[in-house]
Amino acid sequence: MTRTCAKPGCDRAAVATLAYAYAEGVVWLEDLAPEAHPMVHDMCRMHADTVRVPMGWELRDVRDQGHGGPARLDLIGA
């Protein structure tokens, strides 16, 4: 299954997943999650690299850094 970028008008293949942890004011940018989830947004590389977070939010880019841990979706109560 191929997923595409969630940005309107963008049909590139998704390579990253953007997750908003509202309680913490943190936006997680991760390697593409194995399954689509309503709380996250799939992003192509271009849009993942140029993502902007709302004022006062913190962006944590944890893509492909070798931690090998599970996705952090648990932090958003998913």
**Whole-angstrom distance, CA of residue 42 vs CA of residue 36:** 8
Closest CB 71 distance from Zn ion, rounded Å: 20
Q: Does 32 bind Zn ion (CB under 5 A)?
A: no
Q: Of residues 18, 44, 71, 73, which one binds Zn ion by CB under 5 A?
A: 44
Q: Which residue is nearest to Zn ion (CB)?
A: 5
59/75 with CB nearer Zn ion: 59
DSSP element (H, E) containing 21? strand 16-21
Nearest Cα neighbor of 16 from 70, 40, 1 is 40
End-to-end distance of the chain based on CA atoms, in angstroms? Answer: 22
Residues within the interface to Zn ion (CB under 5 A)? 5, 7, 10, 12, 44, 47
